[in-house]
Chains A and B, each alone.
Chain A
């Protein structure tokens, strides 16, 4: 079921999930799952479709209530410190959260501002880096799925949140995009951040240490 890696340091625990269970409909997705995420770690959640990867991520963010078990952020239950937790969390799910009527810059400005880190100037350089140069003024609905995905992922360069939870961040990205993202992951964990992600592609574990947790499809 769940294979958590034992670790010694207690001080730097960002997120601790204890004995989580999730039931969707009639089916138990997982039961008694525990994991401890420390600063500087990248966790990959593996498993076939329908094994409950997305559900687990959503439980960790607090969007979905678990049937049993608790999630603690820096020692406090996330239901108790919801606002502080969400201040320190960046979640990108299946749906990107990009408003199709707004341009890339308008979308990014909104997310930066609500996190309390408003952009001083439009992030042209960043957009160029993620391959959106020249597309700043087009509403996102005029862009391809991959380009919309890049707008959402560009938030990773603008945020100061220590914990990232990313559902399939590599989907719809090309090789260059994946390399760029992996470099950003390495930078983030190097600065003491932590990442929990799901991915169908194998994640290149050269640049950062990777912990894996495998969910099986339960009948």
Chain B
């Protein structure tokens, strides 16, 4: 693991790797978004029960899935940062956090918008929404802890530790919230939403959803790579390699800057 990771402890090597990876996420991400959004919004059939309003799942579900997924990847980056003392991994934690927080926020917002016609209210203490809300708090905690430090390295390490503590706690939070929800008798309407994530979802709706899930991953990953590269350049702005990239105005490199 160490031998494989070691070269990427250097900002320059990570930057170069990122530049190679970026198009592989960005281009499919953009294409799939285009396909998924048009397919989902224009061509997928309306739901027999919810009519057109169900179409928000094409945003809601991918955002919810990746909000959790990126928290885990953030914690993995944190683990690498702490165990192998790799600075670029700390920066990856901080590149991921705001993107994940925005995804969480999108899933909460779309959940509320969806809930309005479904439940007749913007907010219901539904297990899914509640655990997304707590996830948002966890993301905010990581970001707030980082900015509280003047020393960026110390802040990065502290944020990595918190991300790890959070990821250990997430399954417990998740379980406890679901349990809490069944304990306090809930409206049966939540079942309607659950239906979309069960295999019984109609294939005409499932396929655009799958496309959108991958589209979200591609776009979010591309954003994270761009954020990370900006940060790498900013931290080492006086180093020759960064100067070279900034000065040449190289077309390929400047995309990310």
Q: Do chains A and B touch in the complex (CB under 8 A)?
A: yes
Chain B residues 225-248 with CB under 8 Å of chain A are 238
**In this complex, what residue of B is CB-closest to A23?**
B153
Residues of A within 8 A of B151 (CB): 24-25
Q: How far is the CB of A141 from chain B (nearest CB, A)?
A: 29
Number of A interface residues in the complex (CB < 8 A): 4
A65 to B84, CA, bound (A): 13
Q: How far is the CB of A30 from chain B (nearest CB, A)?
A: 17
Q: How far is the CB of A50 from chain B (nearest CB, A)?
A: 15
Chain B residues 110-156 with CB under 8 Å of chain A are 151
Q: How far is the CB of A102 from chain B (nearest CB, A)?
A: 30
**In this complex, what residue of A is CB-closest to B151?**
A25
Residues of A within 8 A of B238 (CB): 26
A-B pair count, CB < 8 Å, reads: 4
A26 to B238, CA, bound (A): 10
A68 to B101, CA, bound (A): 35
A25 to B154, CA, bound (A): 10
A65 to B151, CA, bound (A): 15
Q: How far is the CB of B257 from chain A (nearest CB, A)?
A: 20
Q: How far is the CB of A135 from chain B (nearest CB, A)?
A: 38
A25 to B238, CA, bound (A): 13
Q: How far is the CB of A49 from chain B (nearest CB, A)?
A: 19
Residues of B within 8 A of A24 (CB): 151
A34 to B238, CA, bound (A): 27
**In this complex, what residue of A is CB-closest to B238?**
A26
Residues of A within 8 A of B85 (CB): 65
A65 to B85, CA, bound (A): 10
Interface string of A1-34 (1 = CB under 8 A from B): 0000000000000000000000011100000000
Q: Which of A24, A26, A65 has the most chain B CB within a 10 Å cutoff?
A: A26
A26 to B215, CA, bound (A): 38
**In this complex, what residue of A is CB-closest to B85?**
A65
**In this complex, what residue of A is CB-closest to B153?**
A25
A173 to B238, CA, bound (A): 44
Q: How far is the CB of A143 from chain B (nearest CB, A)?
A: 32
A187 to B25, CA, bound (A): 68
Residues of B within 8 A of A25 (CB): 151
Q: How far is the CB of A12 from chain B (nearest CB, A)?
A: 33
Interface string of A24-52 (1 = CB under 8 A from B): 11100000000000000000000000000
Residues of B within 8 A of A65 (CB): 85
Interface string of A82-100 (1 = CB under 8 A from B): 0000000000000000000
A24 to B85, CA, bound (A): 16
Q: How far is the CB of B237 from chain A (nearest CB, A)?
A: 10
Residues of B within 8 A of A26 (CB): 238
Closest 4 CB pairs of A and B: A25-B151, A65-B85, A26-B238, A24-B151
Identify the B interface with A (CB < 8 A).
85, 151, 238
Could you name 4 residue pairs across A and B whose Cβ atoms are closer than 8 Å?
A24-B151, A25-B151, A26-B238, A65-B85
Identify the A interface with B (CB < 8 A).
24-26, 65
